[in-house]
Structure 1
Amino acid sequence: MFELLEPIATVTFSESVNEAFLALGMRNYWDGYFAGRAAPLGAAPAEVVHAVFYNFADGEVARHIPWVWGKTTPQEAITVRERASAAALRDGMGRLAGSPDLVRTADLATRAALSAPTEGRPLYAGLRALGVPEQPVARLWHAATLLREHRGDGHNAVLVAHGIGGTEAHVLLALSLGMRAEEFGRVHHLPRAYLATVVDGLRTRGLVDAAGRFTDAGRDTRERVEARTDDLAAAAYDVLDAGELAELIAGLEPIAAALQALDD
């Protein structure tokens, strides 16, 4: 489900959505990112957004929050994000946007998205408090975003339980992809000395070896984190019976494939 929903939800990070936020007066991509994604939390201070998002280095959130709220409001950011994301999804889907099966797929995804527990999941809970779009493409994007943030909140909880900080999580992901931390796009901009300190901490804990590669313990830890994350995300789909879940998967597969083809 993650692989099928991620391409749908992440159209919100595309260039066309970025342009919509720049038109509001945002200075750059990250202003729009934080305005759109944090908006369901209201005008929360940087410290709260930093805690909820979890994986940004100290000071990164504060470069954008609360500055963005001087240019727009959370409600306007929610509206712009939904409208621009739905348009991007519609463009990416092509002819599938007019499929007679789309309404059913969006409805099934929405049922799952609105059924998951909110406890301990602040970003998901904020999204759950918003209205559900009526238009099928927008509704599908909204459902995918809800399910993505539900999974993300659960993932952060698992990371906390394993004592893995946000930057450490990115370093472990980079290693799983065969990359060094300073090569990984999400953290490559951070000071080399800071990244070296993070890697040293992982090495001290026995998760990384002297050459900066996974140890068996490090690989096992990452696998356990991912497996538990999947377990926690599964509750959202309990509301669907086996036939409905199969129907949802069948509806999502061509959409995900069309969106992934755009990146190939």
Structure 2
Amino acid sequence: MAESAGLMRAADLTTKAATSAPTEGRVMYAGMRTLPVPSDPVARLWHSATMLREHRGDGNIAALVGARIGGTEAHVLSALDMGVHPPESFGRIHHLPKERLAAVMNGLRERGLVDADGRFTDAGRETKQRIEALTDDLAAPPFEALSPAELDELITELEPITASLAAAGSK
């Protein structure tokens, strides 16, 4: 698969997208853009996918900051969105001091984002959905460098790679 024409084309299209977006306000993405793009197709695909991930991540941080959601709060909202309850048991935050987690949960309750049982309120769910929608919007610019046909081709070329990864147990 590493030498396939499909992988090489996916690497080319992913690189085209990943190197096309503005870097302003995107610290991690801007840092990744300063690194040389590898010539090996697998390394190029990996590197370009990493740039796209960081571009999206920088947009997610902007959306969270705009919604006045801090880092630990973001993890709580993600846990609730994934159905983890209590959210304090979520793997990314379960190790934090109990007092800190209690303070975060109390702050989310005071803001009306979680209820007394530590579950989403309607306002909390709407806030999470707004953040995700804005993150999606902010992640779009790199893909706008691809024509609709190129975007379809990229998806088609990535499908067998995705299937192979899934078959190997990757999530």
Shared fold, TM over 0.5: yes
Give the letter aligned to residue 59 of structure 2.
G
Matching of residue 177 in structure 1 with residue 88 in structure 2:
no
Q: Percent identity?
A: 63
Paired residues for 1:74-89 under 5 Å: none
Matching of residue 236 in structure 1 with residue 145 in structure 2:
no
Matching of residue 112 in structure 1 with residue 5 in structure 2:
no
Paired residues for 1:40-79 under 5 Å: none
Match for residue 6 of structure 2 among 78, 93, 101: 101
Does the 8 Å contact 2:87/2:118 carry over to 1? no
Does the 8 Å contact 2:26/2:55 carry over to 1? yes
Using the alignment, how far apart are the partners of 2:168 and 2:116 within structure 1?
A: 39
Give the letter aligned to residue 232 of structure 1.
L
Matching of residue 148 in structure 1 with residue 69 in structure 2:
no
Give the letter aligned to residue 226 of structure 1.
E
Does the 8 Å contact 2:13/2:150 carry over to 1? yes
Using the alignment, how far apart are the partners of 2:167 and 2:8 within structure 1?
A: 23
SS at match of 1:119: coil
After TM superposition, which residue ranges in structure 1, 4 or more long, deviate above 6 angstroms? Answer: none
SS at match of 1:263: coil
C-alpha displacement at 1:178, in angstroms? Answer: 1.6
Instruction: State the partner residue of 2:102.
Output: 196
Using the alignment, how far apart are the partners of 1:220 and 1:99 within structure 2?
A: 43
C-alpha displacement at 1:165, in angstroms? Answer: 0.2
- After TM superposition, the score normalised by the length of structure 1 is 0.62
C-alpha displacement at 1:194, in angstroms? Answer: 1.0
**Which ranges in structure 1 are unaligned for 5 or more consecutive residues?**
1-95
C-alpha displacement at 1:256, in angstroms? Answer: 1.8
**Which ranges in structure 2 are unaligned for 5 or more consecutive residues?**
none
Matching of residue 249 in structure 1 with residue 155 in structure 2:
yes
Q: CA RMSD in A?
A: 1.0
Using the alignment, how far apart are the partners of 1:188 and 1:262 within structure 2?
A: 29
- After TM superposition, the score normalised by the length of structure 2 is 0.95
Does the 8 Å contact 1:105/1:140 carry over to 2? yes
SS at match of 2:168: helix
Q: How many residues get paired?
A: 169
Instruction: State the partner residue of 2:120.
Output: 214
Using the alignment, how far apart are the partners of 1:261 and 1:187 within structure 2?
A: 30
SS at match of 1:238: helix
Give the letter aligned to residue 118 of structure 1.
T
C-alpha displacement at 1:100, in angstroms? Answer: 2.0
Using the alignment, how far apart are the partners of 1:150 and 1:167 within structure 2?
A: 21
